[in-house]
Amino acid sequence: MSRPPTDVAEHRPTLVHLTTVDMSLALLLLPQLVGFRQAGFDVVGVSAPGPYVPILADAGIRHVALTRSTRAADPRADLAAARQFAAICRRLRPAIVHTHNPKPGVYGRVVARLTRTPVVVNTVHGLYAQPDDPLARRAAVYGLERLAATFSHAELVQNPEDVPVLRRLGIRAGKIHELGNGVDLAHFDPQRHHRAREQVRAELGVTDGQVVVGLVGRLVREKGYREVFEAARRLRHELPEARFVVAGPQDPDKADAITAAELDRAAADGVTFLGMRDDVERLYAAMDLYVLASHREGFPRSAMEAAAMGLPIVATDIRGCRQVVRDGTTGHLVPVRDPQALADAIAALVRDPPRRHAMAQAARHLAEAEFDHRRQIAITLQVYEELLAARRRRAPGLC
């Protein structure tokens, strides 16, 4: 892992990571935050407070509550959150502010720069507009992204398909760094969790001969759950050995939240809902194949975790999924919003254990080659070092 310069390590500059909610800090960024702390930074997570704050504390990451932050569409709350974050920046005087997520990614870059933070970095987890989206949506998303990017010193882009879009928006090439995405391969290792397979399958009541088709993710329509539920309905009688299992929380703040009625209908069609789980690695071990039917992704973490756990994956042929699944080798890519194609791809793998096994091995090999989270930590640290060094050259003593 890259190390910061000696003077940076000695002075432990404050590094703030801003997200909407604490779940993002704990479940998506924690290994990176720990890596940055080990590299010599005083790491502070800023987000709405919640049940994941103790996890951050246990890992040695300080948390500052952004109480006005919300995932709901509420411009007044966002403005209040921006003002509160400005006060936090003035109090902490960080050397670096690193922003994530759509809303804090916009106001966080602006506020950090206006409060004279020496270095401002943003991670593009996935642009919230696609080329085939309506013009109004693209104009709003791309316009805000272009504006916010003028306030940052570096844009770390997870998905390579977003790079040419950002360049067309006028963001200079020297500011853009291709980051990729990754997971902890030592934690998501099928050998480490092999004993969990039979335990979890017994807990779920999975019988001999059943094939567990698993999903992990928030219960929102954007994740393709409606198509998955329809596929499960179509396969219920045709392929009774297919057992659909979903782990993930409801997300009522989202406009596209899956409704209680939809969940009830899916349960009647044999889909098992486990709710929010903190043992997803055990659940992956119990699965036989993984499904991600999303309409939009940046660089999907759950699919990387599934690949690392040696699962073949059926996913939609969209940006993000294409970076995780090698069609025909580690899984199958199907058209978005097409429940019949989804059902056909799932059925093909349920019926073909040798094919599942070959794809499982290929998925783990791909994860080992491309999805190691230590690479993202090293890239980010290098960007930090270069920007801090440039800042010191311009204004000695300020960093």
Structure tokens at 51: 């049940």
Residue 258 is assigned to a structural domain of this protein? yes
Residues 363/330, Cβ–Cβ less than 8 Å: yes
Residues 311/284, Cβ–Cβ less than 8 Å: yes
Asked if residue 221 and residue 103 are part of one domain, the reply reads no
Residues 187/304, Cβ–Cβ less than 8 Å: no
Residues 304/367, Cβ–Cβ less than 8 Å: yes
Residue 191 is assigned to a structural domain of this protein? no
Residue 365 is assigned to a structural domain of this protein? yes
Residue 290 is assigned to a structural domain of this protein? yes
Whole-number pLDDT of residue 11: 75
Please give the C-alpha separations between residue 386 and each of 232, 376, 380, in angstroms, as whole numbers: 50, 16, 10
Of 395, 376, 394, 392, nearest to 7 (Cα)? 392
* DSSP classification of residue 179: -
Helices marked H in the chain — which ranges? 6-11, 22-23, 30-38, 53-58, 75-92, 102-114, 135-149, 163-168, 196-204, 225-238, 260-268, 280-286, 301-308, 321-324, 339-350, 353-370, 373-394
Asked if residue 336 and residue 205 are part of one domain, the reply reads yes
Residue 189 is assigned to a structural domain of this protein? no
Asked if residue 145 and residue 233 are part of one domain, the reply reads no
Whole-number pLDDT of residue 254: 85
**In terms of residue numbers, what domain contains 63?**
6-182+372-394
Whole-number pLDDT of residue 151: 98
Tell me, what CATH number does 28's domain have?
A: 3.40.50.2000
Q: State whether the Cα torsion 136-141-142-144 is positive or negative.
A: positive
Q: State whether the Cα torsion 109-115-117-118 is positive or negative.
A: positive
Asked if residue 360 and residue 386 are part of one domain, the reply reads no
Residue 332 is assigned to a structural domain of this protein? yes
Give burial (CB, 10 Å; 0-12/13-18/19+) of 153: buried
Asked if residue 97 and residue 160 are part of one domain, the reply reads yes
Asked if residue 106 and residue 69 are part of one domain, the reply reads yes
Whole-number pLDDT of residue 328: 98
Residue 190 is assigned to a structural domain of this protein? no
Asked if residue 389 and residue 362 are part of one domain, the reply reads no
Residue 134 is assigned to a structural domain of this protein? yes
DSSP string, 365-383: HHHHHH-BHHHHHHHHHHH
Whole-number pLDDT of residue 130: 77
Asked if residue 260 and residue 243 are part of one domain, the reply reads yes
Q: How far apart are CA 45 and CA 72, in angstroms?
A: 20
Asked if residue 338 and residue 206 are part of one domain, the reply reads yes
Asked if residue 155 and residue 260 are part of one domain, the reply reads no
Whole-number pLDDT of residue 397: 56
Residues of the chain with pLDDT under 70: 1-10, 396-399
Whole-number pLDDT of residue 395: 74
Domains: count for the chain: 2
Whole-number pLDDT of residue 72: 82
Asked if residue 79 and residue 101 are part of one domain, the reply reads yes
Over residues 99-134, the pLDDT tens digits come to: 999 999 999 999 999 999 999 999 999 888 877 788
Asked if residue 220 and residue 320 are part of one domain, the reply reads yes
